[in-house]
């Protein structure tokens, strides 16, 4: 699935992988985020953190009339306030998508797949 943006010069199509890379990069910059997790954590191995090239496994993009909705699957650090980290992720992802790609974001849903304690592998 792609997101289409109409400009005065033509149409731009952005694949979900491009959007997932921007979302994953913005998410992993937040304090308290250990990494991205797969949306199918039980099938793909709960403990595995996604690398940059696999961020698409941890991001679901849904295109709707007024913009897009993004689901982000994360692993957080033990001891952080989950609601604050989630709010920070939502704000950063929305800012990144609107400023880097010019996409209107209607919703950023955060799913915490795991909590990592310092020293856990």
- pLDDT tier at 103 (50, 70, 90 boundaries)? confident
Q: What is the DSSP letter of 67?
A: E
| Tens digits of residue pLDDT in 47-95 | 566 666 677 778 888 887 777 899 999 989 999 999 999 999 999 999 9
112's enclosing H/E stretch is strand 105-116
- Considering the entire predicted model, what is its pTM? 0.83
Q: 82 phi and psi, to 5 degrees?
A: -60, -40
In order of 37, 49, 58, the CA distances from 52 in angstroms are 11, 10, 10
| Tens digits of residue pLDDT in 56-65 | 778 888 887 7
Q: Which class is domain 2-116?
A: alpha beta
């Amino acid at each position: 699935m792609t997101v289409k943006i109409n400009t005065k010069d033509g149409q731009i199509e952005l694949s979900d992988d491009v959007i997932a890379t921007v979302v994953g990069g913005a998410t992993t910059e937040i304090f308290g985020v250990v990494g991205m997790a797969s949306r199918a954590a039980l099938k793909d191995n709960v403990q595995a953190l996604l690398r940059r090239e696999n961020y698409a496994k941890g991001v679901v993009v849904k295109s709707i009339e007024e913009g897009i909705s993004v689901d982000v699957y994360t692993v957080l650090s033990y001891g952080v306030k989950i609601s604050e980290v989630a709010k920070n992720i939502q704000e950063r992802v929305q800012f990144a998508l609107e400023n880097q790609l010019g996409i209107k974001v209607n919703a950023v849903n955060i799913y915490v797949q795991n909590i990592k304690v310092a020293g856990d592998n």
